[in-house]
């Protein structure tokens, strides 16, 4: 089983409008709602790939109840992750994505999330420890809700390491800075998050700096240019044959799903990067985070270029 952690779970709302114009009213042509947050997006892609996946984190209030209801109902019709979310008193956040039908661009609005009490954090740690016993790998994803200490991911990485479970960390800012010092097996920042961490804008230099800070391996999202990986086995870049135009929301989460499934399947690094880059690119063509165009994904598997750097 693959475990994903989303401490700041959300209900994702996607509005489609013919064209997004500032300072104007808009008639919404389509509304979609689904469980969200980076770890849930990762889990949805893993489940679509046929992997047994469990999601944990926090869910509370009417929004959290709807998130859990949607997770349960997904099992009625399709492959979906299993719900091991921990209940809290506060109400889970919502995120709103507005998709411009003319340009295909997406505008994202993210709420901060509910306050989590020390007692709720302790209950989560107990649940997390129990879930690690059956996990083949764990992804620690996204922002921290209010009330969670900034070193939370470092604590979760250390607990995974003690349990012998490979840990992938995908967050940003100070939680990433603290978490990387706990020596996760892999971090997966995008170029901007990496620049904020290291102060370097040149991707390879920034990736080397990040690895020196404690990560066993670093895979950086380069947007349309693919993925750059610095690992104990070498340095590689995986590049799609052409840029994909569409909604980039969730593309990084799909890359995480590709990297984790490749790890569990025992693929070498080039193989993991091909899968991750193909999933990421195929997600750009989907209007909703956590989905990917399967036909595009399968066609890209043979068309991703992986080059090794000295």
Residues whose CB is less than 8 angstroms from the CB of residue 295 and which lie 6 or more positions away in sequence, other chains included? none
Angstrom CA distances, 47 to 42, 105, 261, stand at 9, 27, 10
End-to-end CA distance of the chain: 35
- Give the orientation angle of helix 203-212 with respect to helix 191-198, to 10 degrees: 60
CB-based contact 234:308 (threshold 8 Å): yes
Is 253 considered catalytic here? Answer: yes
Length of the chain in terms of residues written: 310
Structure tokens at 94: 């919502």
Residue from 170, 185, 253, 291 carrying the catalytic annotation: 253
CB-based contact 303:240 (threshold 8 Å): yes
Residues involved in catalysis:
253
């Amino acid at each position: 089983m693959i475990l994903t952690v989303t401490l700041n779970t959300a209900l994702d709302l996607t509005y489609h409008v013919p064209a997004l114009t500032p300072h104007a009213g808009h008639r919404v042509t389509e509304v979609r709602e689904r469980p969200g947050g980076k770890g849930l997006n990762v889990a949805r892609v893993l489940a679509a790939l046929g992997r047994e996946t469990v999601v944990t984190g926090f869910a509370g209030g009417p929004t959290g109840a709807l998130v859990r209801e949607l997770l349960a109902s997904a099992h009625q019709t399709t492959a979906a992750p299993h719900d091991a979310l921990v209940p809290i008193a506060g109400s889970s956040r919502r995120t709103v994505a507005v998709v411009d039908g003319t340009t295909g661009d997406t505008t994202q609005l993210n709420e901060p999330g509910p306050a989590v009490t020390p007692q709720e954090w302790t209950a989560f740690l107990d649940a997390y420890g129990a879930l690690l016993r059956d996990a083949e790998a764990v992804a620690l994803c996204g922002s921290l809700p209010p009330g969670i200490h900034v070193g939370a991911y470092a604590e979760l990485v250390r607990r995974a390491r003690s349990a012998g479970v490979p840990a992938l960390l995908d967050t940003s800012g100070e939680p990433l800075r603290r978490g990387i010092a706990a020596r996760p097996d892999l971090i997966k920042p995008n170029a901007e998050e990496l620049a904020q961490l290291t102060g370097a804008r040149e991707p390879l230099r920034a990736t080397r700096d990040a690895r020196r800070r404690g990560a066993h391996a670093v895979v950086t999202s380069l947007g349309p240019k693919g993925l750059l990986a610095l690992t104990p086995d070498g340095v590689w870049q995986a590049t799609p044959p052409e840029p994909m135009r569409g909604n980039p929301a969730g593309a990084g989460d799909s890359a995480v799903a590709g990297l984790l499934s490749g790890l569990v399947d025992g693929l070498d690094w080039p193989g993991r990067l091909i899968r991750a880059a193909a999933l990421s690119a195929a997600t750009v063509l989907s209007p909703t985070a956590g989905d990917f165009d399967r036909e595009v994904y399968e066609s890209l598997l043979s068309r991703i270029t992986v080059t090794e750097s000295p």
